[in-house]
Amino acid sequence: TGASLDLGGIAKGYIADSVCKTLGATGASLVNAGGDIACSQRASDEMWSIEVDLAAPSHEPDGGTDRHHPNDEPLVLTLDAGGIATSGVTRRRWVDPGSGITQHHVIDPLTGTSVRTDAASVTVVADCCTTAEVWATALLVAGAHAAIAEAQAADLASVICCADGSVVFTGPLG
């Protein structure tokens, strides 16, 4: 039928949540599944500190990044429990030898090719990593303007890095 299903967009978040829940039964846990993070509450009032790289797409074929954050420092978010996920086009890039066009791993479901977006990356903090991952990818695919509007409407805790280097914080992070 030509139809296919790729669970890569939510699998890491779901697995991180599942492992975190299992480990959390014996104490505080933090699970990093390739940058998508699930964490359980600590016994003390201590929060988890999570670093988020604020970067815009590079024009280099090797997929390097150009940072757009003061002092080239990552953003540090604190989280007591839940999940955080980032979806972006700044990593996992290559040049298509046939077209010479730089491609990346986030696929547009309508075209089956790398999504063309003016959002460089979107980070979402949510009650679980699965939810954070779904929102992060959906907002990235939507593009910066729509992502900002949707994140604000849903009161999402998000960080939207635009291709022009601007960074927008929404919800509790705003």
- pLDDT for 98-129, tens place per residue? 878 766 667 677 777 777 778 788 999 999 99
CATH number assigned to the domain comprising residue 58: 3.10.520.10
Q: Would you state the pLDDT for residue 59?
A: 47
Q: Would you state the pLDDT for residue 1?
A: 53
Query: What confidence tier does 156 reach under pLDDT thresholds 50, 70, 90?
Result: very high
144 in any annotated domain: yes
Q: By residue range, what is the domain housing residue 100? A: 8-173
Tell me the Ramachandran region of residue 112: left when phi exceeds 0, alpha when psi lies from -120 to 50, beta otherwise.
Answer: left
Using the CB atoms, write b or e for 58-86: b if 16+ within 10 Å. Answer: beeeebebebbbeeeeebebebebbbbbb
1 in any annotated domain: no
Sheet containing 82-88: which strands, arranged edge to edge? 30-33, 36-39, 82-88, 119-126, 157-162, 167-170
90 in any annotated domain: yes
Written as one string, the DSSP assignment of 21-50 is HHHHTTS--EEEETTEEEEPPPSSSPPEEE
106 in any annotated domain: yes
Q: Would you state the pLDDT for residue 71?
A: 36
3 in any annotated domain: no
d(CA 78, CA 10): 23
2 in any annotated domain: no
Query: What confidence tier does 26 reach under pLDDT thresholds 50, 70, 90?
Result: confident
163 in any annotated domain: yes
The pTM assigned to this predicted structure is 0.81
d(CA 172, CA 174): 6
Query: What confidence tier does 174 reach under pLDDT thresholds 50, 70, 90?
Result: low
Q: Would you state the pLDDT for residue 148?
A: 95
Question: Is the model's pLDDT at 145 over the cut of 60?
Answer: yes
Per the structure, the count of domains in the chain is 1
117 in any annotated domain: yes
Q: Would you state the pLDDT for residue 55?
A: 65
% of residues, the chain, pLDDT over 90: 39
Tens of pLDDT, residues 30-72: 999 988 999 998 878 889 999 988 765 544 444 444 444 433 6
Question: Is the model's pLDDT at 14 over the cut of 50?
Answer: yes
